Amino acid sequence: MDIEIKKSKKPISYKNAISFLEKRLKKVNDKKSNELIWILEHDEVFTGGKTYSQKDILDKSIRVIQTNRGGKITYHGPGQLVCYFILDLKSRKKDIRQFIKIIEKTIIETLNYFNIDVFADNKNIGIWYKDENEIKKVAAIGLRISKWIVYHGFSINVNNSLYNYKKIIPCGITDRGVTNLKSIKDQNYKNLKNILIDKLIINLKN
């Protein structure tokens, strides 16, 4: 089946997005719908993955939505590019580690296109940027697998506010910071989503 590409112009609520993914997941599993790559932004929201802890919440006044993806706590908001997908690994290679490497490669190649040098880390999932002597996260990855169909996805900080990350311990990592592309290099990122989709499609085929 072909992969449907969906791009939402207006922010999508987190709960609505996950509800859509869950319904689409069943259809893909039943061979009643195509796989999906969905680019969107969320309204401001804090989400906690399967391994997040209350100690990761620094500001106890915030509300955290519990989700079934992997990982710990993170923040989504306007100015952050979110890429969700529903991809059937039964028709590819049943290897989640290899799939994560495909995602990492896609993000790295996309940011390299904009002359930003980033890297993956085997010990700390995500994509990282070295800012002088400090390492900061620029993209987060959180996945779930059901019957060898992988869904949820990743986010790239483009020009989102970084203030809300101070209310949590992002992804449970205490010794590294968070940044966005505008802070790294102030340039036009309008074409980012199209470059990202093109590279993801290519890497999924290889």
What b/e string do you get for 3-34 counting C-beta neighbours within 10 Å, with b at 16 or more?
A: beeeeeeebbebeebbebbeebbeebbeeebe
Q: Token pair 């970084």 is at which residue?
A: 162
Which residue is catalytic, options 171, 184, 192, 197?
171
Q: How many residues in the chain?
A: 206
**Cβ distance 72 to 53 under 8 Å?**
yes
DSSP, collapsed to helix, strand or coil, labels residue 71 as: coil
To the query of whether residue 83 is one of the catalytic residues in this protein, the response is no
Catalytic residues: 171
